[in-house]
């Protein structure tokens, strides 16, 4: 795995186990199962701006309350009267905001749930077509998509499979997978979701004449 960030969530051995789970789940079915994980789906460019504004408002509020120079008064009581120190302090707050904006918990805090849900679903749909998952001959592929920053998952089935299932059936996969993501069990969550998907496909989309799936690679797809 060339992307360093993924190692915090999925190790080399985990990725191998996920691929094995796909092979086992696809045995006896015409459906292809595609596991995919991305670093984030939501736009987060607003986060450093929002944090900087929050820090600035806090700073301005303290100034208006007459707590001028509180941040350096014990160390440099004379310099706190100089405007240059205040400017430097504001710049330091902006730098702090920029640093904090790269943390996933901060990004989630400053991104609404509705935006997260919408953007994760749109990213999953985009990847479904960009990865050509919709190009199998039987229209029988399932994408199990996980977005790390948001801790959210999406399951998308191509039309050949979707017409055989009530859309609510995928909740049986999403609920335990989402719980595993919240608990940090990334590999196990993927493997359980893959196994559950395989069970559904074998029951409703079985292999025919000894044929089974295999049009798409079994490897875990990793993208930023």
Do 36 and 52 fall within a single domain?
A: no
Rounded mean pLDDT of 83-103?
73
* 100-120 tens-digit pLDDT: 767 878 777 777 788 888 989
Do 35 and 86 fall within a single domain?
A: no
Do 20 and 99 fall within a single domain?
A: no
pTM of the shown model: 0.77
Give the pLDDT of residue 177.
Answer: 92
Do 53 and 139 fall within a single domain?
A: no
If one compares 217 and 145, the residue with the highest pLDDT of the two is 145
Phi, psi of 33 (to 5 degrees): -115, 125
Q: Which of 64, 88, 109 is the last residue of a domain?
A: 109
Give the pLDDT of residue 213.
Answer: 62
Give the pLDDT of residue 69.
Answer: 52
Query: In whole angstroms, how far apart are CA 120 and each of 111, 157, 168?
Result: 12, 16, 18
Do 122 and 194 fall within a single domain?
A: yes
Q: Which of 88, 109, 130 is the last residue of a domain?
A: 109
Do 22 and 60 fall within a single domain?
A: no
Domain hosting residue 190, numbered range: 4-42+112-223
Burial 199-219 (b: 16+ CB within 10 A, else e): ebbbeebebeeeeebeebebe
Residue 214 confidence (pLDDT) above 80:
no
Question: How high does pLDDT run on average in the chain?
Answer: 82
Do 24 and 124 fall within a single domain?
A: yes
98: confidence class by pLDDT, cuts 50, 70, 90? confident
91: confidence class by pLDDT, cuts 50, 70, 90? confident
Do 11 and 117 fall within a single domain?
A: yes
- Name the residue with tokens 């992307």: 3
Q: What angle do CA 76, 82, 87 make, to 5 degrees?
A: 100
Q: What angle do CA 79, 98, 5 make, to 5 degrees?
A: 140
Give residues with Cβ within 8 angstroms of 31, minimum separation 6: 140, 141, 142, 161, 197, 198, 201, 205, 213
Do 173 and 102 fall within a single domain?
A: no
Domain containing 209 — which CATH number? 3.10.310.50
């Amino acid at each position: 795995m060339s992307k360093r960030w993924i190692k915090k969530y999925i190790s080399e051995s985990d990725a191998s186990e996920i691929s094995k789970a796909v092979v086992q789940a696809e045995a006896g079915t015409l459906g292809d199962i595609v596991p995919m994980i991305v670093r984030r789906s939501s736009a987060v460019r607003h986060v450093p701006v929002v944090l900087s504004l929050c820090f600035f408002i806090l700073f301005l509020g303290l100034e208006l309350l007459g707590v001028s120079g509180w941040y350096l008064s014990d160390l440099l009581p004379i310099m706190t009267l100089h405007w240059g120190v205040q400017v430097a302090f504001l710049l330091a707050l902006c730098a702090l905001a920029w640093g904090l904006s790269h943390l996933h918990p901060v990004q989630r805090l400053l991104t609404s749930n509705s935006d997260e849900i919408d953007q994760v679903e749109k990213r999953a749909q985009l990847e479904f077509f960009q990865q050509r998952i919709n190009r199998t001959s039987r229209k029988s592929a399932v994408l199990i998509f996980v977005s790390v920053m948001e801790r959210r998952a999406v399951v998308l089935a191509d039309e050949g499979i979707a017409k055989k299932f009530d859309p609510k059936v995928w909740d049986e996969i999403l609920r335990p997978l989402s719980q595993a993501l919240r608990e940090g069990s990334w590999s196990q969550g993927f493997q359980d979701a893959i196994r559950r998907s395989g069970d559904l496909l074998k029951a409703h989309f079985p292999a025919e004449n000894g044929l089974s799936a295999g049009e798409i690679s079994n490897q875990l797809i990793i993208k930023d």
